[in-house]
Amino acid sequence: MIDKQVGSAAAAVADIFDGATVMVGGFGEAGSPIELIHALIDRGVKNLTVVNNNTGSGHVGLAALIENKQVGKMICSFPRTANSTVFPDLYRAGEIELELVPQGTLAERIRAGGAGVPAFYTATSVGTPLAEGKELRNFEGRDYVLEHGLKADFALIKCERADRYGNLVYNKTARNFGPIMAMAAETTIAQTGLQLEVGAIDPEVIVTPGIFVDRIVTVTEPAQESRLVAAGRSYP
């Protein structure tokens, strides 16, 4: 029997190892799997490479993971946002590495990683510093850069509804990176607000088919990052 439900966030992240590449869903706080990130902080593994569009805010969630010195390298498109001081400070101090990737290239690299495409060409970044060192190639009169698919050992994502097969449905713009990170990771761990019976989600509206998901943790009332930040909270 297929049952991807795991009893706790701690159990769900228990095999994430030192040096792992971890994709973390979310665009800002929307879709950020904050309970899974906090479980990863509790776990204490180090030297992670983390893929996320941003670097978190305040001193909770992804920012707290970075502040806790567990992240050796960030792969992201926009590492500074309102209320983000943790990454900038560490970056200026030379204590964390950054691979800056244009947002659409980041999304396409993740999608390619999940779809078995090792590399593709895109016009994004041609003629800019972010194309330096990359292969340029002309197709039909226009230059493109070669970009590589991006895979991960783990993905931590957040959805609204799930079943024990791992079928997922997201909420509004919290969908963002979830579906493609689920495809690109060896082990995908999703926190869901609602756990439903198999068959309760219409086959036409499932966004992430269960084949891309390995573990489901139910977090019925997830914390909201901006509220924690506004309240001056920190983790742990």
200 lies in the site for its own copies, by CB under 8 A: no
Interface pick for another protein out of 7, 94, 116, 133 (rule CB under 8 A): 116
27 lies in the site for its own copies, by CB under 8 A: no
Interface pick for its own copies out of 132, 140, 197, 221 (rule CB under 8 A): 140
61 lies in the site for another protein, by CB under 8 A: no
| Cβ-based nearer residue to another protein, 40 or 201 | 201
Please, what is the minimum distance in Å from the beta carbon of residue 5 to its own copies? 23
Strand ranges, E, within the chain: 21-24, 48-51, 71-76, 97-100, 119-122, 136-139, 142-148, 152-163, 168-169, 185-196, 215-218
Interface pick for its own copies out of 205, 220, 221, 236 (rule CB under 8 A): 205
| Cβ-based nearer residue to another protein, 3 or 42 | 3
């068959």: which residue's tokens? 199
Please, what is the minimum distance in Å from the beta carbon of residue 48 to another protein? 20
Q: Which residues contact 211 (CB under 8 A, 6 or more apart)?
A: 166
128 lies in the site for another protein, by CB under 8 A: yes
97 lies in the site for another protein, by CB under 8 A: no
Interface pick for another protein out of 21, 52, 70, 124 (rule CB under 8 A): 124
| Cβ-based nearer residue to another protein, 21 or 167 | 167
3-state secondary structure 106-120: HHHHHHHHHHCCCEE
Please, what is the minimum distance in Å from the beta carbon of residue 35 to its own copies? 23
Angle at 227 between CA 221 and CA 230, to 5 degrees: 160
Whole-number Å distance between alpha carbons of 202 and 184: 24
114 lies in the site for another protein, by CB under 8 A: yes
58 lies in the site for another protein, by CB under 8 A: no
Window of 9-17, 39-47, 64-72, 169-177 that interacts with another protein by CB under 8 A: 169-177
Are the beta carbons of 185 and 154 closer than 8 angstroms? yes
Are the beta carbons of 177 and 212 closer than 8 angstroms? no
Residues 150-169 that bind its own copies (CB under 8 A): 169
Whole-number Å distance between alpha carbons of 129 and 122: 15
Are the beta carbons of 75 and 106 closer than 8 angstroms? yes
